[in-house]
Structure 1
Amino acid sequence: MEIPGIGTMLLVFVLTFLVTMWAKRKRQQSKFPPGPTPLPLIGNMLQINFRNIVEEFVQFGSKYGPVSMAYLGPKKMLILNGYDVLREAYMEKGEVFSDRPSLAIPEMVFKGHGVIFTNGERWKQMRRFTISTLRNFGMGKRSLEERVQEEARCLGEEFQKRSGTFFDPTFLLSLAVSNVVCSIVFEERYDYEDKDFLDLLALMNETFQMVTAPWAQMFDLAPNLLKHLPGPHVRLFKNFDKLRKHAMEKVKAHEETLDENCPRDYIDCFLIKMNQEKGNSTTEFNYENLISNLIQMFLAATETTSTSLRYAIIILLKYPDITKKMQEEIHQVIGNSRCPSIEDRIKMPYTDAVIHEIQRFTDITPLGVPRATNQDTVLRGYHIPKGVTVFPMITSVLKDPRFFKNPKLFDPTHFLDEQGKLKKTEAFIPFSIGKRVCLGEGLARMEIFLFLTYLLQKFNLKCDKDPEDIDVSPIPHSGTYVPKPYQISVTLR
């Protein structure tokens, strides 16, 4: 009897192993949510169009239902479509769905520190401290409002300098929003032509675009291999090193001038807390968490709010009749002699409704920020294991025809009742919901209202294209929605 060769035995062993793995996975999958059938080892990587990941995951909702699952290699991804299931997961089971997943790039950059990508006690302490400090320095109060008003006036001056010419407002809006963050964190604002400030902002913008690009998802599959190969990650890590160096320089300068009886900003408050907890060996108040918080706050607060403002302007240029009605309301309530205040908002239902609709329609974070389960649970009858990455499809909520009659159209009446008053809806969740709701929501809402109303109060805006030719669709192939570049000109009202 002929004895099989080693090669044949090895092949049989490998085939048996793969079949066994496949059978085991099939048994497990019968308990999991539905989704495309994964291949051994690589999962659904060949079946998912990563260049159009948002639309791909929305289609999962249509094909498999509000709760579906996909695999990136061995990693499970839970995709939630629709408000009802998001509320069930993030509100009714909020504690279970309150973690962040372990993502390769944040882990390599921040090494488990900071307020955005951490879990457990570290996250709770950093979030509690950050929210408390922002409130103490005026989040939702007049002191911060005055900082935003000051920056709105500075932004208006920059627009006026360019009166009569066409220009791209992108960088100016980023400068203004970033300066508000600087006033909270550093207790200082920068001149719009300050070279260090311009370099920092350009660095942050490039870093944010790289982190949210589709390749970042692919990098997460094999970081230990890919980090040794050429690719965008090499520049990304260099960018983070520069941001870390800049933040550390600010911290050191604050230490030299710190007055514990009179904290000036977020850094001072954190340093005071560090001094108070010097004897605590398990304290979370250390340099690593402080530096990580500063970088994360800058990236998150600057890019999302400035993108919302950029989108707001191009939409208002697209719909001049809506812009005219807003300006009439602004003139009636505020006039032209004083700066808009947050108290005006309640008296301006049409303007408020337009801003709500801008945030709904632009939908700048359609995938939401990923979360993770911290224990096994059951959702809609399906077994959801601990540690699964969760994608809350915010876009499926903001574009839900059950809540918004014309979800694909820009229509401010989505937020107006029959009497013309602001109509609120539970499905308006651009900042997400639950325990991980955006901690800068209050600041972002204030900035968008004050910046936009000030610009409309002072200027008439014009685009270099006719309104019917303006394209308000986002730049394709991105995990975040960003408007296409455009040019505007302004004239004083």
Structure 2
Amino acid sequence: MDPVLVLVFTLSCLFLLSLWRQSSERGKLPPGPTPLPIIGNILQIDVKDICQSFTNLSRVYGPVYTLYLGRKPTVVLHGYEAVKEALVDHGEEFSGRGRLPVFDKATNGMGIGFSNGIVWKNTRRFSLVTLRNLGMGKRSIEDRVQEEARCLVEELRKTNGSPCDPTFILGYAPCNVICSIIFQDRFDYKDRDFLNLLEKLDEISKILSSPWLQVCNTFPALLDYCPGSHNQFFRNYACIKNFLLKKIKEHKESLDVTIPRDFIDYFLIKEAQGTTVITSLSSVLHDSKEFPNPEKFDPGHFLDENGKFKKSDYFMPFSTGKRICAGEGLARMELFLFLTSILQNFNLKPLVHPKDIDITPMLIGLASVPPAFQLCFIPS
């Protein structure tokens, strides 16, 4: 038989098999756009702004719909009601984390962020208990944050009111608080190892939000056989892992099991399922039912008619339910103390009129990457 005919026949069978599998699965799932064989609905998603694509599709198919990312069906929950019902009302059933091949390859399914089942439950429980033991929610951790706020203010003073891009300076402070909890040590803002660590973390954030990584997560085989920015992600991840392993080795050599000093010490002492669902938190944070101008920066969204703060259930930047960020309390404390320290010591002056400031993200993927900007910190 002609090899070409064999190839055409085989491809036709695979094509028909793919159509049959998708049609049989779709009958059991919420409605959604018709997928193409093999690539699914990938052409209907703008990989540069996935959140907006989800919003556009929700206007056609409602708050709960199915997308095929490649051959894999994924249910999207869009809007406050759908997200709350899943993460809060049925938190246990939706506590799992869908697979992200780039993280599976890097972490081997371990860690608090992207693990599942008993591994995730044990890691999260241990992390929360250890953070409380180290002062989370207590005065001791607040003292650390205030001390770091003073260091941040001194670093900003060195700019002498001249224009600067504060992205890295503002990143030093929260990272140093985390380092003090994990390593019992903070780093000087000029420390080369510390700067290298932050640069690699920043690059990882940008790579993860790039269109190429969204494609790789949809077609995992690309991670093993194609060149691209995912290889830089793995190199950066390896550098950070080696940095942490070095710290762990140092801790092992000086470990006193009766007096644990930090998160690593506690860890060293301790050491001795279905369809993927995406909850679109962006759709909740930009829900026009709660916020009249969701795409605009408007503090009025959180003020009542008397100009006083009002709480909104729609504001869930740390997620909600079983997968809510374990460090939410620390993050809120840092945001409050760092911001108030800056405003008490400086007048902030942009290089353009405030109305002309563009806060449109550079990339929107796994994270939302803000654009570079410059600001003057003028001592008050």
- Tell me which interval the TM-score lies in, with the shorter structure as reference length: over 0.9
Matched, 1:113 2:102: no
- 8 Å Cα contact 2:32-2:67 kept in structure 1: yes
Q: How does 1:12-23 map to 2 (within 5 A)?
A: 14-15=11-12, 18-19=15-16, 21-23=18-20
Q: Deviations over 1:34-87 (max 9, x none)?
A: 221111222122332212222111111111100111112211121111111111
Matched with 2:135 is 138
**Distance change (3 Å), C-alpha of 1:243 and 1:14:** closer
Deviation at 1:473, TM superposition (A): 2.1
| 8 A contact 1:109–1:240 mirrored in 2 | yes
Contact persistence 1:464–1:487 (CA under 8 A): yes
The residue identity in structure 1 corresponding to 2:122 is Q
Indicate which of 267, 275, 293 corresponds to 1:406. 293
Distance 1:468 1:260, change over 3 A: same
Distance 1:261 1:11, change over 3 A: closer
Q: Structure 2: which amino acid aligns with 1:109?
A: A
Q: How does 1:454-473 map to 2 (within 5 A)?
A: 454-473=341-360
1:38·1:44 contact (CA, 8 Å) conserved in 2? Answer: yes
2:66 is the alignment partner of 1:73: no
Question: In the alignment, residue 448 of structure 1 is paired with which amino acid?
Answer: L
Cα 1:24–1:120 change in 2 (3 A) is: closer
**Aligned in 2, Cα 1:450/1:22: closer, same or farther, shift over 3 Å?**
same
Aligned position for 2:377: 490
Letter in 2 for 1:180: V
Structure 1 residues 291-328: Cα deviation after superposition (integer angstroms, max 9, x where no partner): xxxxxxxxxxxxxxxxxxxxxxxxxxxxxxxxxxxxxx
Matched, 1:228 2:115: no
- Bigger shift: residues 213-222 or 145-154: 213-222
The 3-state SS of whatever aligns with 1:465 is coil
Which residue does the alignment assign to 2:144? 147
Deviations 1:129-157 (A, max 9, x none): 10111112121211111111011100100
Q: Deviations over 1:7-60 (max 9, x none)?
A: 657645653553354245324313321221111222122332212222111111
Deviation at 1:413, TM superposition (A): 2.8
CA distance in 2, matches of 1:480, 1:396: 14
- Residue 157 of structure 2 corresponds to which residue in structure 1? 160
Aligned counterpart, 2:176:
179
* Distance in 1 between residues matched to 2:13 and 2:224, nearest whole Å: 33
d(CA) in 2 for partners of 1:84 and 1:120?
26
In the alignment, which of 209, 213, 219 is matched to residue 212 of structure 1?
209
Q: Aligned pair in 2 of structure 1 residues 112, 443: CA closer, same or farther (>3 Å)?
A: same
TM-score, normalised by the number of residues in structure 2: 0.94
Q: State the 1:258 CA deviation.
A: 1.3
Q: Could you list the runs of 5+ residues in structure 1 that have no partner in the other structure?
A: 276-373, 375-385
Say how many residue pairs are matched: 380
Conserved in 2, the CA contact under 8 Å of 1:227 and 1:234?
Answer: no
Q: Are 2:205 and 2:369, in contact at CA under 8 Å, matched by a contact in 1? A: no
40, 44, 47: which one pairs with 2:44? 47
Pair 1:37 & 2:37 matched: no
**Counterpart in 1 of 2:241?**
244
1:58 pairs, out of 43, 55, 59, with 55
State how 1:62-461 maps to structure 2 within 5 Å.
Answer: 62-275=59-272, 374=273, 386=274, 388-461=275-348
Check the 8 A contact 1:54/1:479 in 2, yes or no. Answer: no
Over the residues paired in the alignment, what is the CA RMSD in angstroms? 2.0
User: Aligned partners of 2:296 and 2:207: how far apart in 1?
Assistant: 30
Query: What amino acid is aligned across from residue 484 of structure 1 in structure 2?
Result: P
Stretches of structure 2 lacking an aligned partner (at least 5 in a row): none
Matched residue SS, 2:218: coil
Deviation, 1:162, is 0.9
Deviation by residue 1:428-459 (Cα, 9 ceiling, x = unmatched): 11111111111111111111111001100111
* Equivalent-residue separation in structure 1 for 2:2 and 2:361 (angstroms): 59
